[in-house]
Structure 1
Amino acid sequence: MILTCSVWAGELRVFSYNIHHGAGMDGALDLKRIAEVIKKQKPDIVALQEVDKHVPRSGKVDQAAELAKLLGMHYAFGKCIDLQGGEYGNAILSKYPIRDTFIHPLPGPGEPRAVLEVILNVKGKKLSFASVHLDWKENDTRVAQISAMEKVLSLRNYPVIIAGDFNAKPDSEAMRLLATTWSLTPKSGARLTMPANDPDKEIDYIAYRGFESVKASCLVLEEELASDHRPLIGVILLP
């Protein structure tokens, strides 16, 4: 299913996907399948989570680089942890050249997490785009991570979009905190994103701020196989 909407001047297509290191609900490791899911939506920028780089479990492939090659996009990778002699973290794909890349470590007692941020020039305008994967165990940790993320990204004096797996339900303290300074892209239709084959949780989101005026919409794709999360495609009107 492809998101359809009115054609706005300056339309930006934003995709977010926790790819589960390319492993689908059928147990098959298939990065090309992930690429096809992304390609069908024709995104401008893509936030990915649970991405492997040179990890034995996924064939020691640099997954961000391979997806970028399959899709003809620029890419950045941000390590969160060392894993099996390789690395594991977040990635961003972009049809626009990436000007700068930042990895912002997040606090917490559990598995180390980080925000991957890139700076883009989109149709002559400066834009920050970030991929995030928050802690899955404790709400207090997620609240602290959102506060830390806010401290860094609030310094940007140009529009910022953040997307990813927040591991938090819409009515949680973490998401209420996020909503005090960010606009969550409203979902049309189904809202649940995980597990992919029979979702009962809404934990993946696209949020933005810094736009003078904006229309935005977001769709959870009915993709049940390629990963354990369903992906999001959002459309944001540039100022």
Structure 2
Amino acid sequence: MSSTIIRIMTYQVDHCRGRDGKVDPDRISQVIACARPDIVALQGIDAEAPFDHLIRLEQRLGLKAYSPGRRDCNAYLSSLRLAGLREYDLGQQGVCLRADADVHGKRLHLFNIRLQPTLAGRIRQIHALLGSELLGDDALVCPVIVLGDFGDFFWNLGNLELNMRLRPVARPLWRATYPACFPVIGRDRAYLRGQVKVTDSFIERSPLAREASSHLPLILTTEIHEPARTLRVKEIKRTGMEVAAG
């Protein structure tokens, strides 16, 4: 079994508006640059003219941007090739942006989500996320990472369902990411499924990060494994037999 290590960040940038009320995508780009991620899952980014902050981040960081191209959306910045980009409405302003990353020949399913803080709304949004169109899809045979802003202030039954269906990533001892100026709530986190594990995680707590957005970013060092069955598929392909992509 072979493995590949990449660094992934999830960051709710809140329209690039800082604690001082100033909208400044350059501050966000500096926070991201300090962590040197391979992939960034953004929430609350404006990606539509004349307020296209995403293109500004793309230019400053040298990472390719992927988004639905509108205001207040989820998006990705990545040094790796992403494909299959699709946005899903989870109901009541909850959203999921799915993409498949090509990680040096290995496929990784990414689900970048933003849930809303209302209790009943979150439960319905989590049911939609776990439904047959998304995480319940039998075609998802490659490793999965679900990450983003889970919108919760208190533990509830929706979190229990997530923990039963996915593996929560162990976060730093002090897990809070919100509000950035004095974080007490761990709204930003990640879950795993399949042959993938997180070997290290940290929350960027620099003075700049505390000023740049209402959330602090979470950074994960991720190890993606290639199971034996995938290796066998490659061998079959070399013989000329066609195999459907997983």
Kept in 2, the 8 Å contact 1:51–1:88? The answer is yes
For the residues of structure 1 that align with 2:104 and 2:184, how far apart are their CA atoms?
38
Match of 1:64 among 22, 45, 54: 54
Give the Cα separation in 2 of the matches to 1:35 and 1:62.
14
1:236 aligns to what?
222
1:79-107 CA-to-partner distances (Å, cap 9, x unmatched) read: 6xxxxxx6221111111112220111112
Distance 1:92 1:54 in 2: 15
Distance across 2 between alignment mates of 1:163 and 1:215: 12
* 2:24 matches 1:36: no
Partner of 2:10: 16
Match status 1:153 vs 2:135: yes
* Cα offset, 1:234, TM superposition: 0.9
State the match for 1:102 in structure 2: 86
State whether residues 170 and 176 of structure 1, in contact with CA within 8 Å, keep that contact through their aligned partners in structure 2. Answer: no
Match of 1:238, as an amino acid?
Answer: I
Unaligned runs of 5+ in 2: 226-246
* Aligned-pair CA distance for 1:113: 2.5
Give the distance between the partners of 1:115 and 1:22, measured in 2 at CA: 20
| Deviations 1:45-96, CA, capped at 9 Å, x for gaps | 11111111336xxxx23222221221111221136xxxxxx62211111111
**Please, what is the CA RMSD of the aligned residues?**
1.9
Which structure dedicates a bigger proportion of its chain to helix?
2
Name the structure 2 match of 1:129: 110
Preserved contact between residue 23 and residue 226 of structure 1 (Cα < 8 Å)? yes
Deviation at 1:134, TM superposition (A): 0.2
TM-score (norm 2): 0.82
Percent same amino acid among aligned pairs? 28
Residue 87 of structure 1 aligns to a residue whose secondary structure is coil
| Alpha-carbon distance in structure 2 between the residues aligned to 1:37 and 1:9 | 28
Matched, 1:26 2:23: no
CA–CA distance in structure 2, aligned partners of residues 135 and 209 of structure 1: 23
Q: Find 1:214's aligned residue among 188, 197, 219.
A: 197
Aligned residues: 217
Alpha-carbon distance change, 69 to 153 in structure 1, aligned in 2, over 3 angstroms: farther
Counterpart check, 1:184 vs 2:168: yes
Task: Give the conservation status (yes or no) of the 8 Å contact 1:185–1:217.
Answer: no
* Residue aligned with 2:128, SS: helix
Distance 1:216 1:124 in 2: 20
Deviations 1:158-193 (A, max 9, x none): 111121110125732221111111112111232111
Report the Cα distance in structure 1 between the residues aligned to 2:65 and 2:84, rounded to whole angstroms: 11
Match of 1:195 in 2: 179
